[in-house]
Amino acid sequence: MSATLIKCFNLAKAVGTGAFRNALATSHSQVAAWSPATVGSLLKCGIHSNVPLQNEKLMEFFDDPKHWSETEVKVGRAWRTDELRIKSNKELHQLWYILLKERNMLFTMEHECNDKMEVFPNPERIDKIKISMENLETVVRERNKAYHLLETGETGERPQKQIHNAFGLRCNYKTIEHVLPPFMNTKWIKAQHNTYGGRAVHKFLLHYREKLYNVKRKAKNRSRNEVMMTLRRNPNIDLQMLKRKYPDVDIDKLLSQDKTRGHYVTKVDA
């Protein structure tokens, strides 16, 4: 017989069978009036009332009821990496579960507002939680990397390399341990597309590279036109500041062009 069942029988003998049965159907308000020793004995026996306790309610998946009818909730900003680096591992572990609980609550409230066709207040809270969790993972990864470098001389992370996918684009591939070596693992060889070829793929790469070139060319022309208009409107502007802001633009060459000079008359000292 297990120890928990023995404790239940002893408790039933001490308080009586009728009282023991009534304890199973006790409401939450009556449980709160009991002594801590009695409640502890029932919890040790694995007995819970039909109405769950406050910390066991599913209402923790929902926001505070006072925020349900509001259109705006005052919240703070996301956690920064500098703030997370000064915390201990225990504090980071606790903060991770707090953020996870908050994220689940926000997802539940967003789903509920969509079902009720109501406005979800401050949807950017989900983004702030996501940024905080990403920064926390970055800090934990930094500590793990430093620990492994100190102990073993390696980063401890999965090795990765640059490969070409089926479309001819470069991507990161993280290696995985397998029982069979690569030349014997035919299933892995068929599943991986480390090579590319064909007229369709080469045509796609031609258009893709042309698109990247046009994006780069338009960005360069846009910066060049901004510098030209700035020099035209403000001929006495600080050139060093412009060079720091637009390092890809040849400002000295633009000064010799007519479009940069503008419509103004140079003052001549008498």
Domain boundaries, the chain: 3-53, 59-151, 162-191, 202-261
- Please determine, for residue 43, whether its predicted confidence score (pLDDT) is greater than 70: no
Residue 97: left if φ>0, alpha if ψ -120 to 50, beta else—which one? alpha
Which of 105-109, 147-151, 266-270 is least confident? 266-270
Mean pLDDT, to the nearest integer, of 236-262?
A: 85
- State residue 135's pLDDT score: 95
What is d(CA 120, CA 110) in angstroms, rounded to the nearest whole number?
6
- State residue 268's pLDDT score: 59
Mean pLDDT, to the nearest integer, of 145-172?
A: 88
Phi and psi angles of residue 85, each rounded to the nearest 5 degrees, phi first:
-70, -25
Tokens representing 83 are: 């703030």
Q: How high does pLDDT run on average in the chain?
A: 78
Crossing angle for the helix pair 36-44 and 3-15, nearest 10 degrees? 140
Higher pLDDT residue, 254 or 12? Answer: 254
Mean pLDDT, to the nearest integer, of 128-153?
A: 93
Separation in Å, CA 90 to CA 9, 83, 94, 149, 224: 40, 15, 6, 22, 52
- State residue 57's pLDDT score: 67
Q: What is the pTM of this model?
A: 0.53
Q: At which residue do the structure tokens 């412009």 appear?
A: 242
Q: Which residues pair with 73 in a beta bridge?
A: none
What is d(CA 270, CA 264) in angstroms, rounded to the nearest whole number?
18
Separation in Å, CA 91 to CA 83, 84, 129, 134, 136: 12, 9, 17, 16, 11
Tens digit of each residue's pLDDT (9 = 90 or more) over 54-96: 545 677 777 777 777 777 888 888 999 999 999 999 999 999 9
With a pLDDT cut of 70, the percent of the chain lying above it is 74
- State residue 251's pLDDT score: 87
In order, the DSSP letters of 192-234 are: ------SHHHHHHHHHHHHHHHHHHHHHHHHHHHHHHHHHHH-
- Please determine, for residue 231, whether its predicted confidence score (pLDDT) is greater than 90: no
What is d(CA 252, CA 246) in angstroms, rounded to the nearest whole number?
12
Q: At which residue do the structure tokens 């069978």 appear?
A: 17
- 10 Å CB burial of residue 50 (0-12, 13-18, 19+) is exposed
Which of 133-137, 181-185, 213-217 is least confident? 181-185
- Side-chain half-sphere of 125: how many Cα atoms within 13 Å? 22
- Please determine, for residue 51, whether its predicted confidence score (pLDDT) is greater than 70: no
- State residue 88's pLDDT score: 93
Q: Please check whether residue 201 is in contact with residue 167, taking contact to mean a CB–CB distance below 8 angstroms.
A: yes
- Please determine, for residue 253, whether its predicted confidence score (pLDDT) is greater than 90: no
- State residue 49's pLDDT score: 42
What is d(CA 168, CA 4) in angstroms, rounded to the nearest whole number?
63
For 77-123, where are the alpha helices, taking DSSP H only? 81-85, 89-116
- State residue 163's pLDDT score: 85
Nearest residue to 110 via CA among 95, 124, 128: 124
- State residue 16's pLDDT score: 53
Mean pLDDT, to the nearest integer, of 252-264?
A: 76
Tokens representing 269 are: 């000292």
Tens digit of each residue's pLDDT (9 = 90 or more) over 185-224: 888 777 775 667 789 999 999 999 999 999 999 999 999 9
Q: At which residue do the structure tokens 């009991």 appear?
A: 34
Residue 6: pLDDT band (50, 70, 90) is low
How many helices and strands (H and E) does the chain possess?
Answer: 12, 2
Mean pLDDT, to the nearest integer, of 6-16?
A: 53
